[in-house]
């Protein structure tokens, strides 16, 4: 697997921890979107695309995010602390949709995304800078599932 393209879209709010979104293309054939570059306490880190974890209401079976206090379906009060905790004791509220499997892959990913972010930051300082387009491509050439 080779990373063949990294697109970085810088965020305008300089005070926010979220510095950019990016998409990574693998082997000119597969794209991972909504990767975040975030300013943490120890520097920048890359957050892979994720989704909120859910559970089901004991009363009606309706699906709810783990931070919800009341059921979206029936309005029943939900139990507190429904989320499992990670190895540091923090509640696990999100799960990655896509992520590197091993340390070597994570290093490659982080290095290439970081380099692309730094390059985009430098380009943004030049006159006439135009941000990268991150829109979805036309879906005309995508075959239908039958």
Residues 42, 102 share a domain: yes
Residues 35, 13 share a domain: yes
Looking at the domain assignment, is residue 92 inside a domain?
A: no
Residue 88 pLDDT:
85
Residues 45, 6 share a domain: yes
Task: Look at residues 137, 131, 109 and name the one whose alpha carbon lies nearest to residue 48.
Answer: 109
How many Cα atoms sit within 13 Å of 5 on the Cβ side?
11
Number of domains observed in the structure of the chain: 2
Residues 101, 41 share a domain: yes
One digit per residue, the tens of pLDDT, for the chain of length 146 reads 899 999 999 998 877 999 999 999 999 999 999 999 999 899 888 999 999 999 999 999 999 999 899 999 999 999 988 888 888 888 888 888 998 899 999 999 999 999 999 999 999 999 999 888 876 655 556 667 76
pLDDT in tens, 13-27: 877 999 999 999 999
Residues 39, 2 share a domain: yes
pLDDT in tens, 50-70: 999 999 999 999 999 998 999
Q: Domain span at residue 81? A: 53-87
């Amino acid at each position: 697997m080779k990373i063949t393209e990294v697109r970085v879209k810088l965020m305008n709010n300089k005070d926010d921890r979220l510095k950019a979104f990016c998409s990574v293309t693998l082997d000119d054939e597969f794209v991972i979107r909504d990767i975040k570059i975030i300013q943490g306490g120890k520097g920048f880190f890359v957050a892979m695309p994720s989704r909120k974890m859910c559970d089901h209401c004991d009363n009606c079976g309706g699906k709810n995010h783990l931070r919800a206090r009341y059921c979206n379906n029936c309005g029943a009060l939900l139990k507190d602390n429904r989320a499992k905790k990670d190895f540091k004791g923090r509640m696990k509220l999100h799960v990655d949709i896509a992520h590197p499997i091993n340390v070597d892959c994570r290093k490659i990913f982080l290095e290439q995304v970081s380099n692309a972010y730094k390059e985009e930051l430098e380009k943004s300082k030049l006159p006439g800078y135009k941000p990268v387009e991150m829109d979805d491509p036309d879906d005309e050439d995508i075959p239908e599932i039958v």
